[in-house]
Amino acid sequence: MYHSRISGLGYYLPKKVLTNQDLEKMVDTSDEWIKQRTGIESRHIAGENELPSDMALKSSLQALKKSNLTPEDLDFILVSTVYPDQLMPNTACTLQKKLGISHIPALDISAACSGFVYALSIANQYIQTGTYKNILIVGTETLHHITNYQDRTTCVLFGDGAGTAVVSQNKDPEKGCIYHQELKAYGEMDSALFIPAPGAKYASKTQSIPNQYRKNNTLQNLSLTLEKNNEMTKKPDPRESKKQPNCDTSEKQDTYIHMEGQTVFKKAVKIMCSALEKTLKDTGGSLDQIDWLVPHQANERILKQFCKLTGFPEEKVIFDIKDTGNISSASIPLSMARAIEQGKIKRGQDILMIAMGGGMTSGSVFLKY
Ligand code: COA
């Protein structure tokens, strides 16, 4: 039996900083409101030509160095991103190319802010079965591209950055292992946090088919059949009653993050509480056995509420949102890397990661670092 060990972590934050004071000039908000309701003071914004794969490269080279490995040692690349470099090829392939390697599989994961935890869980399966020895897992986000800087309810929250972990095969669980993992999704909450476009759902059905062929009977029939089938299986979409998204994907509005803040807040707290409860139940452990909670950094208040409800000590929580904002799937590897750098997290300690995001998706991993 093989075990998964995080052999090294790395992170990258772009140079440009967007402060609460900057946002005060853009929307009707205040530094005080943002700090009090979220714990955020500033966030980093990627440069004009800085792509998710560029940031992933920087954090990955750092993680490889910490692992004493080179890109040639890797067997698999998993990249989580909400907004990839482009739709095809995936960002993992681009990262592979930028790392100067070839042949090994490279896959993007779409699970929003839970993406890193999903990637870690997938990597663990390949390590445990002995299929792969070293897997690169990356969360890299340029959320500023999909943030509406006229919407004060969302623009204060998000930032850019990347975080990477190398997961390596290991025979001695004392030197690192994953004790427990659980992934979940709540598709019924698709209207709580979403980005309408680009995507097939809001693209014109026959957009790429030349006009002369649109009149073709076969296509017309096909389109009618599809429409009929859709009508028969269609469930009411809660979004339709509120807002009919514009079919034109060039409409900037549809390319932004839409969020029901309070719904997400409440669900996030519930997810965190039940993830903790399930981890302790399945492992037969107690709160004392967890040295650190490394949660997705969505809002400081979510974490404080979780501590209040579960009795989890705040001193054992890595709070790391003040100068980053919510950087989606980059948040957990970045905050863990920084906590190691600051001497908080040490080798041999037991870490619980909990993430939640659009989908809604969620995941937890309890591991020995
Ligand atoms: N500045 C000033 N006022 C703001 C504001 C801002 N940036 N954003 C919202 N407000 C206002 C609202 O308009 C509302 O005003 P009203 O009472 O006059 O209607 C008031 O503040 C309270 O709004 P509310 O939505 O109840 O605030 P909240 O305490 O729930 O905080 C969030 C809003 C978005 C910070 C909070 O809901 C949150 O963090 N949700 C989870 C978001 C998240 O984690 N998303 C990603 C998950 S991976």
Q: Are residues 211 and 346 in the same domain?
A: no
Query: Taking CB atoms and a 6 Å cutoff, what residues make up the pocket around ligand 1?
Result: 29, 33-34, 37-38, 113, 152-153, 156, 259, 261-262, 264-265, 268, 298-299, 326, 356-357
pLDDT band at 204 (very low <50, low <70, confident <90, very high): low
Report the share of the chain in percent with pLDDT over 70. 87
Q: pLDDT digit string (tens) for 296-306?
A: 999 999 999 99
Rounded-to-integer distance, Cα 329 and Cα 31, Å = 25
Prediction pTM value: 0.91
Q: Are 5 and 170 in contact (CB under 8 A)?
A: yes
Looking at residue 42, its amino acid is S
Which helix (H) or strand (E) segment holds residue 118: the answer is helix 115-128
Nearest CA to ligand 1 atom 26: 262
Strands 76-80 and 106-109, sheet pairing = parallel
Q: Are residues 238 and 357 in the same domain?
A: no
Q: Are residues 178 and 307 in the same domain?
A: yes
The yes-or-no verdict on residue 24 having pLDDT over 50 is yes
pLDDT band at 251 (very low <50, low <70, confident <90, very high): confident
Average pLDDT over residues 347-367: 98
Rounded-to-integer distance, Cα 112 and Cα 105, Å = 21
Q: pLDDT digit string (tens) for 77-128?
A: 999 999 999 999 999 999 999 999 999 999 999 999 999 999 999 999 999 9
pLDDT band at 159 (very low <50, low <70, confident <90, very high): very high
Q: Ligand 1, from 25, 256, 265: best to mutate by most atoms within 8 Å of Cβ? A: 265
pLDDT band at 217 (very low <50, low <70, confident <90, very high): low
Instruction: State residue 235's pLDDT score.
Output: 52
Q: Are residues 88 and 201 in the same domain?
A: no
Nearest CA to ligand 1 atom 28: 262
Q: Are residues 141 and 230 in the same domain?
A: no
pLDDT band at 208 (very low <50, low <70, confident <90, very high): low
Average pLDDT over residues 139-165: 98
- Residue 291, burial from CB neighbour count under 10 angstroms (0-12, 13-18, 19+): middle
Q: Are residues 247 and 220 in the same domain?
A: yes
Looking at the CA of residue 298, tell me the nearest atom of ligand 1: 44
Q: Are residues 239 and 91 in the same domain?
A: no
Strands 258-259 and 193-194, sheet pairing = antiparallel
Instruction: State residue 210's pLDDT score.
Output: 67
Q: Ligand 1, from 18, 37, 324: best to mutate by most atoms within 8 Å of Cβ? A: 37
Rounded-to-integer distance, Cα 89 and Cα 351, Å = 34
Instruction: State residue 51's pLDDT score.
Output: 98
Q: Are residues 290 and 221 in the same domain?
A: no
Q: Are residues 230 and 351 in the same domain?
A: no
Q: Are 30 and 24 in contact (CB under 8 A)?
A: yes
Instruction: State residue 214's pLDDT score.
Output: 58
Range of the domain at 230: 196-255
Looking at the CA of residue 112, tell me the nearest atom of ligand 1: 48
Catalytic residues, which ones? Answer: 113, 296, 326
Provide the CATH number for the domain around residue 60: 3.40.47.10
Distances (CA, A) of 331 to 56, 141, 153, 160: 13, 9, 20, 10
Rounded-to-integer distance, Cα 169 and Cα 45, Å = 35
The yes-or-no verdict on residue 244 having pLDDT over 50 is no
Task: For tokens 């409409």, name the residue.
Answer: 251
**How many distinct structural domains can be found in the chain?**
2
Q: Are residues 291 and 202 in the same domain?
A: no
Looking at the CA of residue 296, tell me the nearest atom of ligand 1: 48
Looking at the CA of residue 153, tell me the nearest atom of ligand 1: 8
Q: How far is the CA of 307 from the centre of ligand 1 (A)?
A: 21
The yes-or-no verdict on residue 260 having pLDDT over 60 is yes
Report the share of the chain in percent with pLDDT over 90. 85
Residue where a domain stops, chosen among 235, 255, 275? 255
Q: How far is the CA of 83 from the centre of ligand 1 (A)?
A: 23
Instruction: State residue 126's pLDDT score.
Output: 98
Q: Are residues 52 and 201 in the same domain?
A: no
The yes-or-no verdict on residue 252 having pLDDT over 80 is yes
Q: Are residues 161 and 201 in the same domain?
A: no
